[in-house]
Amino acid sequence: MPPFPPGPPGLLSGVTVLDLATVGPAARCTRILADYGAAVVKVGPVPGRGAEPIRPPSYAYSGSRWLSRLAIDLKDPEGRAAFLALAARADVVVESFRPGVVDRLGIGYEALRRANPRIILCSTTGYGQSGPRAGWAGHDINYLAVGGYLAASEPGCDGGPPMAGATIADAAGGGMHAALAVMAALIGRSGGGGGAHLDVSVADGVLWLTSLSVDEHLATGATVGFGHDLISGRYACYGTYQAADGAWLAVGAIEPRFYAELCRRIGCPQWVDHQLDDRVQAQVREDFRAAFGSRDRAAWIEALAPYDTCVSPVQDVAEVVADPQYAARGAFVRVMAPGGDGTAGGDGSPGFRQVGPLLAGMRPPEEPVALRDPSVSDAAGLLAEAGLADGEIAALERRGVVA
């Protein structure tokens, strides 16, 4: 099945993915696959038949850039058959139902494998297909909690675990985890192997993200958490400091030579030889805070960042999208909403910007990228590619089995 509509050429060109998810880690996974050139088909429920899915804002998940869509009633035998016909021509199916749901629907791995022995099924759930938490509902904060991430982070002002500023579990523990697993399965299959059923647990992905701390505890029995070591707030050389204008700076001067350079440039040479001296860390921090509080953030960045001090600004989202480094890297692309010609940022340019295909190996698209109306269905073309006759497709549409 060819890409419809076509995306940019990429490392995964020629790979077709059926995506049964709407939001969360699975949608993050297929966003990555699409930006690497895979043809991703969003398969949703038929409106009015069953529970309505979460519908994210039109700009979310890169505005469904390059994705095609259709709706199928998977509980209807003919709808199930139509989905399996699509799967017979596809390479990957990504789903995020509760464990066991795809089997009850008749589109589990064994059913898919009968239709296509080389199919890769990626089942993305919060806690995996097995274990005592397998049936639990959850979201990003829950997976960060059970995987040790929250407890290892700096406590909030009330002494409790913090709120993460990004969906780290969904994006990295789940989405990138799933995309990596899919790519590994595709490589394995290309070497003569068959298909695979990938059991992607977001909580497992978070455990991997915290594995440096976990492995230390397992090896030494140490109580690992915030303030335990060099990268978790124990020493003044690794932390955040407020500048005179109220803005913040991040300091990550781990290497002794970087730390020494930092001390000299902020006027604290007396602490050069005390980087890891626990006895004086409170005084070092106090002097660092006083030093950073004497000048505005921009002045400190100019004085420190280019000189091997490992200092950077703590930027809010508005600052990130105006950052010249990201601009130089082509991090954002301009897109055109369907039927819209609005402007973004008051610059008079048509459309608006969004985060583009920026991971290593992704190819930048020609701009502007035309986003498609998410209400438009590609059912007829996709089902025809899957081998269904025009009369069969028309009958399914009349019965409301596909839309």
pLDDT score recorded for residue 2: 46
Q: Once rounded to an integer, what is the mean pLDDT over residues 282-287?
A: 98
DSSP one-letter code for 170: I
3 has a pLDDT exceeding 60: no
pTM: 0.93
pLDDT score recorded for residue 340: 58
Question: Residue 219 has which token pair?
Answer: 């090896």
Least confident of 33-37, 63-67, 212-216, 261-265: 63-67
Instruction: For residues 178 and 173, give the distance between their C-alpha atoms in angstroms, rounded to a whole number.
Output: 8
pLDDT score recorded for residue 345: 40
Which is the catalytic residue, given 103, 139, 215, 273? 139
CATH fold of 16-209+373-398? Rossmann fold (3.40.50)
Instruction: For residues 369 and 66, give the distance between their C-alpha atoms in angstroms, rounded to a whole number.
Output: 9
Q: pLDDT tens digit string along 123-182?
A: 999 999 999 999 999 999 999 999 999 999 999 889 999 999 999 999 999 999 999 999
pLDDT score recorded for residue 5: 52
155's CB contacts (< 8 A; 6+ apart) are 161, 162, 226
Dihedrals phi, psi of 262, to nearest 5 degrees: -60, -50
- 3-state DSSP assignment of residue 66: coil
Give me the architecture of the 230-313 domain, per CATH.
2-Layer Sandwich (3.30)
Residue 170 annotated among the catalytic residues of the structure: yes
Instruction: For residues 44 and 53, give the distance between their C-alpha atoms in angstroms, rounded to a whole number.
Output: 8
Q: Taking a C-beta distance cutoff of 8 angstroms, is the pair 120, 186 a contact? A: yes
The confidence band for 348, taking pLDDT boundaries of 50, 70 and 90, is low
- 325-334: string of b/e by CB count within 10 Å (b at 16+)? eeeeeebbbb
For residue 227, what are the CA distances in angstroms to 153, 155, 217, 219, 238? 9, 10, 14, 19, 11
Least confident of 24-28, 311-315, 340-344, 351-355: 340-344
120 has a pLDDT exceeding 50: yes
Q: Taking a C-beta distance cutoff of 8 angstroms, is the pair 72, 400 a contact? A: no
Dihedrals phi, psi of 140, to nearest 5 degrees: -50, -50
Average pLDDT, the chain: 93
Domain boundaries, the chain: 16-209+373-398, 230-313, 324-370
Percent of the chain at pLDDT > 70 equals 95
Q: Once rounded to an integer, what is the mean pLDDT over residues 70-91?
A: 97
Instruction: For residues 351 and 334, give the distance between their C-alpha atoms in angstroms, rounded to a whole number.
Output: 6
The confidence band for 20, taking pLDDT boundaries of 50, 70 and 90, is very high
Which is the catalytic residue, given 73, 91, 170, 204? 170
334 has a pLDDT exceeding 60: yes
Q: Taking a C-beta distance cutoff of 8 angstroms, is the pair 19, 94 a contact? A: yes
Contacts 24+ apart (CB under 8 A), 320-327: 321/353
Q: Taking a C-beta distance cutoff of 8 angstroms, is the pair 301, 265 a contact? A: no
- 3-state DSSP assignment of residue 387: coil
Q: Which amino acid is at 328?
A: A
Residue 139 annotated among the catalytic residues of the structure: yes
